[in-house]
Amino acid sequence: MRVLVTGGAGFIGSHVVEALTAHGHEPVVFDLRDGLDVRDAKAVAAALPGVDAVCHQAAMVGLGTGFGDAVEYVSRNDLGTAVLLAAMADAGVRRLVLAGSMVVYGEGRYACERHGVVRPGPRSVADLDAGRFEPRCPRCGEELTPGLVGEDAPADPRNVYATTKLAQEHLAAAWARSTGGSAVSLRYHNVYGPGMPRDTPYAGVASFFRSALARGEPPRVFEDGGQRRDFVHVRDVAAANVTALEAEPREGVLTVYNTGSGEPHTVGEMARALSTACGGPDPVVTGEYRLGDVRHITADSSRLRAELGWKPEVGFGEGMREFAADS
């Protein structure tokens, strides 16, 4: 299969390219680093002849520097996706795998002892300033128990990036209905591993911690370090992309799969694992916070395992040791 990989020179995209090659496919890299912008309709159209499928990884990621980034996020993520899908429609390319994100859910799944499953709203500045980081039941104000989010949970994006990722899925669904194409969105969890970007506002928390340790400084952990996440290795994410591309296509629909390790860890645990692996100073819990961050978000990835046979291979400890040693 000849596969166009947008963002193919980036962190996740480059691993997707390696995985495709290892499985006997022919990846074609389309990346901004090579002067190829997915918003350029002519460049995209020129790249599609002979292509059997598209693996769309190109995106502006992370929370960035503030709402002033909104125009650039929408342009790169949503306009870029629209241009790509329009070109695919014209070229007759009918298979798409999209790099989705678990950020579309907002907060994770919570259960109240009295009221069952509830959906707490965004945390208030007053609560965050006071160090009250755990969401409370919106009906009775009592403590909640976090759980796993399924793909059928309502979307509730809490920041610009999350909003653009949800819009990408809506565009892909509209494209699939219009063309009879097959679209899959892999909602990635917190991806980490070799080649992860460093020292940029758009990098992930694991990269920030590793950079601090490389400078001999302790990782600075926001809130109280108890935020639950699912840290999934980039090679496992790349394998999920190949699995989705090789699966029997479902014509005319968008199929969504959570893509995580299935082993939730706190941010504090991740910081300690990296510090230990690097032989560096212990993490410092700062109590600081970022508006737009959610407290707990871990999703149930069993659908991807059951329907497509994918499973993660890199364990948390092994992956963090490798990541700490990555130069």
The residues that are catalytic are 161
What tokens does 318 get? Answer: 């092994």
What tokens does 247 get? Answer: 């699966």
The beta-carbon contacts of 153-158 under 8 Å, at least 24 apart in sequence, are: 153/105, 153/109, 154/119, 155/104, 155/105, 155/106, 156/104, 156/105, 156/106, 156/107, 156/119, 157/103, 157/104, 157/106, 158/103, 158/106, 158/107, 158/122, 158/292, 158/294
How many alpha carbons lie under 13 Å from residue 234 in its C-beta half-sphere?
22
* DSSP β-ladder status, 95-101 and 182-188: parallel
Nearest to 63 by CA among 196, 189, 203, 209: 203
Nearest to 98 by CA among 194, 164, 156: 164
Write the burial class of residue 234 (CB in 10 Å: 0-12 exposed, 13-18 middle, 19+ buried).
buried
Nearest to 258 by CA among 310, 296, 180, 204: 310
d(C-alpha 34, C-alpha 239), whole Å: 24
72-106 CB burial, b ≥16 within 10 A, e <16: ebbebbbebbbbbbebbeebebbbbbbbbbbbbbb
d(C-alpha 101, C-alpha 64), whole Å: 16
What tokens does 235 get? Answer: 């090679």
Nearest to 174 by CA among 236, 89, 103, 101: 89
Contact 97, 27 (CB under 8 A): no
| Overall residue count recorded for the chain in this entry | 327
